[in-house]
Amino acid sequence: MRIAVTGSSGLIGRRLVPALRDDGHEVLQLVRRTPRTADEHRWDPQHHRIDPALLSDVDAVVNLAGTPIRPRPWTAGYKRSLVDSRLDSTTTVGEALAAAAAADPTRPRVLLSGSAVGYYGDTGDRTVEESAPPGRDFLASLCARWEAATRPAEEAGVRVVRLRTGLVLGEGAMLTDILGLAFRAGLGGRLGTGRQYWPWISLTDEVEAIRFLLTSDVSGPVNLTAPRPVTNGEFTRALGQVVHRPTFLHVPGFAVSLALGEFGRSSVLAGQRAVPARLTEAGFSFTHPELEEALRTALRRG
């Protein structure tokens, strides 16, 4: 296949691009800076500019572009960046793919476009599959708009998969790096009540799921999460076991909210008991179905 990838410099993209090449695919990387290699091609998602010829003969686009969501207070400007970077990139590739499909409707094409389990909002301990409705907080609204930006491609006959990704655990992942350092220093402990669910997936399985979905017949939303989501309390105990440190500390919810504001309330103290129903039905096999194994791999611990 000839595959274009946006966001190839991010955590997932850095692992995905070489994996796709190992599969024998030709990969085009869409970058906003001056291209440095023959496989890099410049685009300008902020102004919805892309060379129409660039996607005219691609079989697939994996759209991972967007400002990273970081553990920091969400100012109005930062929230605007989170929204605009996702809507601009998705609209640009979606409309370009739609135009390519209109010019050559006989060629099968697929768009795998990023989203997140934050789409569901805080769902408590209720098990959440892909048919669940969206939530009402900022992240849920962002994800709903992000996914809606794929509609031009879908209406043009492109197979669209919306990748609702959970917390990615892997070497170099922000969550793994931050918590790994804290827990190794003996500062690990549950956050808030510890009963909120943290839907997670290993970086290996995230990449493998994308490779799987490129050639499957699945379309629509797909939860990219491990089969058994865990609570923050369970996550805390598992990470403590992996790094051989106690986890007796407890950070009260008000402290998390005070330090991290809206991010803390919606992404740390709230969560989703999301399960990968669509992936499981399609026959996908997880490399890391268990949390402790995924954490050991992410932290390079035996």
* Domain span including residue 225: 2-299
pLDDT for residue 302: 41
CA quadruple 59, 64, 65, 69: dihedral, nearest 10: 170
pLDDT for residue 215: 94
- SS3 string, 81-107, reads HHHHHHHHHHHHHHHHHHHHHHHCCCC
Q: pLDDT (tens digit, 0 to 9) for every residue of the chain, 302 residues total? A: 999 999 999 999 999 999 999 999 999 999 999 999 999 999 999 999 999 889 999 999 999 999 999 888 889 999 999 999 999 999 999 999 999 999 999 999 999 999 999 999 999 999 999 999 999 999 999 999 999 999 999 999 999 999 999 999 998 898 888 899 889 988 889 999 999 999 999 999 999 999 999 999 999 999 999 999 999 999 999 999 999 999 989 999 999 998 889 999 999 999 999 999 999 999 999 999 999 999 999 998 54
CATH number of the domain residue 179 falls in? 3.40.50.720
C-alpha distances in angstroms, 268 versus 153, 163, 170, 233? Answer: 34, 21, 19, 12
pLDDT for residue 230: 97
d(CA 148, CA 136): 16
pLDDT for residue 70: 87
Number of domains in the chain: 1
